[in-house]
Chain A
Amino acid sequence: NAGVTQTPKFQVLKTGQSMTLQCAQDMNHEYMSWYRQDPGMGLRLIHYSVGAGITDQGEVPNGYNVSRSTTEDFPLRLLSAAPSQTSVYFCASSDGDQPQHFGDGTRLSIL
């Protein structure tokens, strides 16, 4: 049981490039979320999903797309990276009223 797995752990992009941050969970959780954390700040919700085929926007969704074709996977896409998207990205999952489980994060730098 690996929990929540995020890949890659580190990534450097140039402005304008696109990429997908991967998130997978093996706990059959319905809820999955993406957060970003900027230096000295708490986590902010980007997008979330309440189940396969259903996604919605969080607090800071601009510049990011998500999809949820399976229960296990919830990828986050940056279509045209900007320096303001330099951050640490965390994926989380939960089911019912159980606590959210977080991945180890992806550290993304955009030059």
Chain B
Amino acid sequence: DAKTTQPPSMDCAEGRAANLPCNHSTISGNEYVYWYRQIHSQGPQYIIHGLKNNETNEMASLIITEDRKSSTLILPHATLRDTAVYYCIVRVLGSSGDKLTFGTGTRLAVRP
């Protein structure tokens, strides 16, 4: 399974954009990049996913490089409620199940 590498921590000011990077240099052509976040010790919350095109939804934007070896999650206007651990995951789907391999994520602190 493809592994991901994220910085252990980041911070940003409230109202500014938060840009969270992720490296996934061994990703295969049919593997998606997923982003989840975990607030306190709650269950992980799905944010966004993509294959090779940039994606945007009501929560965030996902920018994937053309070679698919890295991606960036963008929270356009971070709020205090966005303080959480953010996980970048390569998702493997197939007949042997739906497996998510979590790393240690990036702990984002949004400061007032």
Q: How large is the interface on A (under 10, 10 to 19, 20 to 34, 35 or more residues)?
A: 20 to 34
Given contacts A31-B97, A56-B96, A99-B46, A42 and B41 within 8 Å (CB-CB): no
Q: How many chain B residues touch A (Cβ–Cβ < 8 Å)?
A: 22
Q: Which residues of A come within 8 Å of B, CB atoms?
A: 4, 31, 33, 35, 37, 40-45, 48-50, 56, 58, 88, 90, 92, 94, 97, 99-105, 107
Q: Which residues of B come within 8 Å of A, CB atoms?
A: 32, 34, 41-46, 49, 87, 93, 95-105
Determine if B104 and A45 form an interchain contact, defined as CB atoms under 8 angstroms apart: no
Q: Which residues of A lie under 8 Å from residue B49 when comparing CB positions?
A: 99
A101, B42: Cα distance in complex, Å:
12
Chain B proximity of A59: nearest CB distance (Å):
8
